Amino acid sequence: MKYLLDTHIFIWWILDDPKLSDVFKSKISNSNNEFYFSAASAWEIVIKSSIGKLTLPDSPEKFINDQLHQNRIIELGITIEHTLQLLTLPFLHKDPFDRILIAQSNFEQITIITDDVLIKQYDVKVL
C-alpha cells in the first residue's frame, strides 16, 4: 500500500512522539508499505524551523535528508498537475501545505496518513 505522510506524522514518527497513534505506528512499521514525503512538507519544516515554531535535533536539511534515506521514504515533488488539482478542492482547509498534500494524494491516488480533522473532510483517502 502507498501512503503520503502528512508533515506532523513524519515528525512524530521520526521523533518517537507519543501523539503518534498505535494504528499509525503499525502502518509505518510495516515494510510492505511504501511511504512518500512531499516537497511541501520539506518546505513547511524549513519555514517552521526558521521562525522558531519547530525544533529539530539537526538542521532541517540534514534531518529531512537523513530520515528519508534511513527510513526508505520516497520524495514526492510538486508538479503542475498537482497544483492544478487544487482547482477541484473546496476551501475547507486554508493551509496551503495541507491543500497541496490533498491535491497530491488525489492526483497520485495515495492514502494520506494524517491526524488533521480538516483533511479528513475532503474526498481523499485518509488513514
Mean pLDDT of the chain: 94
| Cell numbers standing for residue 25 | 505506528
Sorted by sequence, the CB contacts under 8 Å of residue 83 that are 6+ apart come out as: 100, 103
Q: What is the pLDDT of residues 52-80, one digit of tens each?
A: 999 999 999 999 999 999 999 999 999 99
**Per-residue pLDDT reduced to its tens digit, 85-127:** 999 999 888 899 999 999 999 999 999 999 999 999 888 999 9
Average of pLDDT values for 28-51? 95
Please determine, for residue 31, whether its predicted confidence score (pLDDT) is greater than 90.
no
Residue 126 lies in a domain: no
Task: Write the CA distances from 101 to 22, 69, 104, 125, integer angstroms.
Answer: 23, 21, 5, 11
| Per-residue pLDDT reduced to its tens digit, 14-29 | 999 999 988 888 888 8
Domain for residue 90, yes or no? yes
Q: Look up the CATH number of the domain holding residue 68.
A: 3.40.50.1010
In a domain, 86, yes or no: yes
Task: Please give the pLDDT value at position 123.
Answer: 87
User: Which residue in this structure is represented by grid cell 495515495?
Assistant: 110
Residue 127 domain-assigned (yes or no) = no
Q: Which domain holds residue 54?
A: 2-121
Q: Is 38 left (phi over 0), alpha (psi -120 to 50) or beta?
A: beta
* Count: domains in the chain: 1
